Amino acid sequence: MQNIITGTGSYIPTQVQKNTDFSGAEFYDKNKEKLTRPNEVIIEKFKDITGIEERRYVTSDLRNSDIATFAAEKAIESAGIDQEEIDYIIVAHNFGDVRHGLVQCDILPSIASRVKYNLKIKNNNCVAFDVVFGCPGWLQGIIQADAFIKAGLAKKCLIIGSETLSRVVDPFDRDSMIYSDGAGACILEKNDGRPQGILGYADQTYTLEECYYLFYGSSYNPNEAQTTNYIKMHGRKIYEFALTKVPQAMKVALDKSGVDIDKIKKVLIHQANEKMDEAIIKRFYRLYKKKAPEGIMPMSIHKLGNSSVATIPTLFDLILKGNLEDHEINEGDIILLASVGAGMNINAIVYQC
């Protein structure tokens, strides 16, 4: 019996940060030398590669645990369940709560505990814990919840992906334009006999050479304090890694499920970089000697940016609620979800809606 998602929810921050808002920024390279090209040129090239036109940031009064709670409340309402029946709250994130104006991560207590506190859940047997698994964290939370339910340890699980990356980026690093904030959540329940649910999955961790492709490092601006660290990445290495490894993991998940590739209605890939995602989907279908169907891969990155663990659950919720133009997911549709991120971690899930 496969476990099913019975409700979804998301929170999209209200503060819009457009590409033009970076026109007055000072950008430096990894050698801490100031970039001499005009910002208009830098920004236009950035848009051509990533597809990002704007992104969303949380307002100064909110933290990661707040927006995680907002998404959770919507998922619980969507599922129509009593929140006291939730057995596990699993929150995927990477930087905890970060107050406005600071870059220090705060995960004491855990974000999951804070969400449970915010929801005012009284049930002490509802276990709350965090997953730090890079951008694939939300999918990994689903994989864990699925295992708990199959093992008879749970019947209902709340899985959240939430992040406020705008507060942990170096404003002097052009890569900072990629990142955004957001939260998405779902309820995973034991199947009551309906012909739907998780059909197969794959999860992997590469660390021999890839472990520090994403890392914490000091500001690229030599005039800034070098004792404060920010999220950094080796972009080219990540790009090449993702193009090689992610399609293979997607194939492992699909082959495990026994589903024919032609039955896949939508492929939801972590919204990190438009060009990278397009290349991943082409290579995935090429593994089956197929051509990717038109419209198979919905995109939200153009307006929402890369919100790490929140990108896939937010995209999923937008489509299910009819809020993403030209895309829909109907009951019985089989979809493939895949992500890659810090660790370096990869996972993929085949799911029948």
Each of the 353 residues of the chain gets a pLDDT tens digit; together they read: 689 999 999 999 999 999 999 999 999 999 999 999 999 999 999 999 999 999 999 999 999 999 999 999 999 999 999 999 999 999 999 999 999 988 889 999 999 999 999 999 999 999 999 999 999 999 999 999 999 999 999 999 999 999 999 999 999 999 999 999 999 999 999 887 666 899 999 999 999 999 999 999 999 999 988 888 999 999 999 999 999 999 999 999 999 999 999 999 999 999 999 999 999 999 999 999 999 999 999 999 999 999 999 999 999 999 999 999 889 999 899 999 999 999 999 999 999 99
Structure tokens at 153: 């340890």
In this prediction, residue 227 carries a pLDDT of 87
Residue 320 and residue 239 share a domain: yes
**Domain final position from 194, 221, 254:** 194
Same domain, 190 and 336: no
Distance CA(320)–CA(8), nearest Å, equals: 8
Kindly state the tokens that stand for 252.
Answer: 């492992």
Tell me the residue type at 42.
Answer: I
**What is the pLDDT, as a whole number, of residue 74?**
98
The boundaries of the domain holding residue 240 are 198-352
What is the count of structural domains for the chain? 2
Rounded to the nearest 10 degrees, what angle do helices 64-79 and 111-119 cross at?
Answer: 60
Q: Tell me phi and psi for residue 291, to 5 degrees.
A: -110, 135
- Maximum distance among all alpha carbons in the chain? 62
In Å, how far are 138, 271, 274 from 310, measured between CA atoms? Answer: 7, 9, 16
Residue 7 CA to residue 125 CA, distance in Å, equals 21
59/94 same-domain check: yes
pLDDT at residue 351, rounded to an integer: 96
From the list 64, 74, 145, 152, the residue with the least C-alpha distance to 112 is: 64
Q: What share of the chain is helix, strand, coil (3-state, %, to 5)?
A: 35, 25, 40
- pTM surpassing 0.95? no
Together in a domain, 293 and 185: no
Q: Are residues 139 and 224 in the same domain?
A: no
In this prediction, residue 1 carries a pLDDT of 64
Task: Say if residue 168 is in the same domain as residue 33.
Answer: yes
Answer yes or no: do 134 and 267 share one domain: no
- Rounded to whole angstroms, the Cα distance separating 271 from 294 reads 18
Question: What pLDDT score does 103 carry?
Answer: 82
Q: Tokens 């490092």 label which residue? A: 217
- Listing DSSP states for 303-320 in one string gives HH-B-GGGHHHHHHHHHH
Tokens of 199: 């059909």
Q: In 3D, which of 170, 138, 173 has the Cα closest to residue 157?
A: 138
How far is 288 from 261, CA to CA, in rounded Å? Answer: 8
State how far the Cα of 54 lies from the Cα of 98, in Å rounded to an integer. Answer: 22
Domain boundary among 127, 162, 194: 194
One domain for residues 96 and 113: yes
Same-domain pairing of 17 and 164: yes
Q: How far apart (Å, rounded) are the C-alpha atoms in residues 73 and 314?
A: 14
User: Do 184 and 38 lie in a common domain?
Assistant: yes
| Residue 350 C-beta-side C-alpha neighbours within 13 Å | 20
Same domain, 190 and 204: no
Query: Cα–Cα distances in Å, from 144 out to 123, 223, 335?
Result: 21, 44, 19
In the listed set 194, 223, 244, which residue is the last one of a domain according to the structure? Answer: 194
Mark whether 190 and 202 lie in a shared domain. no
pLDDT for the residue 195: 67
Is the Cβ–Cβ distance between 249 and 136 less than 8 Å? no
pLDDT, position 194: 66
CATH assignment at residue 105: 3.40.47.10
